[in-house]
Amino acid sequence: MTTPSRPWFNPVVPGFHPDPSICEVGGTYFPACSTFEFLPGIPLFTSTDLVTWTPVGHVVTRAGQLELFDVPTAGGAWAPTLRHHDGRFHVVVTDAMGRGNLHFTSERIEGPWSDGTPITGVDGEPLDGIDPDLTWDADGTCYLTFSGLLLRDAAAGGVRHLGIQQVRLDLTGGRALEGPRSLWSGTGGIFPEAPHLYEIEGTWYLLVAEGGTERGHAVSIARAPSPTGPFTGCPGNPLLTARGTDRPVQNTGHGDLFRAPDGSWAMVLLGVRPRGMVRSFSPMGRETFAASVRWTADGWPEVDPVALDAPRPHVVEHDDFDDEQLALPWISVRRPAQEFSSLTERLGWLVLAGDGSTMDEARPCFVGHRQQHEAIEVRALVDAGGGVGA
């Protein structure tokens, strides 16, 4: 297999874009990320060169696709997996403390995406667990692989984890065809999660994150002759971790493999850029990075440490609010911005209808933009009702 050339610029997608998943269709790459309680949900990007990544839309654009109205902070859209199969895009995601595990589809990456089918077990009850992954074997059998963190137990005040699990899935109806089976769950690190299953040259590889999503975060892998196992762990695990190092990118994990345009292999993953004396503050949040992957003679991948590139060139963004809809980067909290804002009431302005809520409340009257650069200058022209001021 080919050695990668690392064409990308790290971070690939800066500023609060965690849990990346990626698929490639006809030479174009599409990553998706988690959004938790923010709307619109699950941003999608496109690139043909792995250098320039353009926002192209969101999976969640309508009320009801996610049940966010009352989710706690950091609930909502967790760890989407984006795949393309039989001419359609598929996203499976956990709406944590909301609708549960969901399956969305669209013929075009830009959407419109479906309303989301809840995934249930053989008993018809919601399938408990997080971080679902989709794959298909050569016969077309669909497998849902997921992390067995039982959210219903967590909501009741306890944490119970069953490791990495898997079911065969009737994707049309969103119903498991069997009870969950346990798969390989890493090397013993806490919170095995973010499984992704791949068939590569006749062998099935199971990629997982473990160690928690903080400083102990890591990526490990196992392989098997079939999608159901039995899986054998890589002697070189973890494939990737920054724990115990002074690398500029920490908390590295939650990876998804893909092939670069030159045929080489790479991985998208999350990481943070720590700041402060004890390096515990990450003002950009969890971001999307990429790393080069090589394959050894005995069929195991090796992953390069995540490089951090020099700061990006100066960027100027401007919004006159003169379109019919808000531009893609704008987000709100737990309710769509159109419920309390207007772009037509006063042309060339974004009008927010105050309702007395503050930023201390669950559903503030708030429209924001992710910070993607550590040094920024923001200017806004504001009319608070008594005149216009800068």
Q: Is 19 a catalytic residue?
A: yes
32 close to 42: Cβ distance less than 8 angstroms:
yes
Please identify which of the residues 37, 95, 133, 193 carries the catalytic annotation: 193
> Residue 233 corresponds to which tokens in the numbers above?
């762990």
Residue 259's nearest CA partner among 251, 268, 250 is: 268
Residue 228's nearest CA partner among 155, 137, 108 is: 137
Q: Is 131 a catalytic residue?
A: no
- Helix H or strand E segment including 155: helix 151-155
d(CA 171, CA 88): 13
d(CA 324, CA 338): 11
143 close to 120: Cβ distance less than 8 angstroms:
no
Look at phi and psi of residue 122 and say left if phi exceeds 0, alpha if psi is from -120 to 50, else beta.
Answer: alpha
Neighbours of 279 (CB within 10 A): 14
> Residue 52 corresponds to which tokens in the numbers above?
């320039």
- Burial category of 312 from C-beta neighbours within 10 Å (exposed 0-12, middle 13-18, buried 19 and up): exposed
Residue 95's nearest CA partner among 112, 114, 122, 117 is: 117
- Backbone φ and ψ for 142, nearest 5 degrees, come out as -95, 130
Tell me if residue 168 falls in helix, strand or coil: strand
Strand partners, 169: 176
Please identify which of the residues 19, 128, 210, 287 carries the catalytic annotation: 19
d(CA 377, CA 373): 10
Which amino acid makes up residue 121? Answer: G
d(CA 144, CA 131): 10
> Residue 326 corresponds to which tokens in the numbers above?
């808000």
Q: Are strands 240-241 and 265-272 parallel, antiparallel or unpaired?
A: unpaired
Neighbours of 292 (CB within 10 A): 20
d(CA 266, CA 232): 22
Active site residues: 19, 193
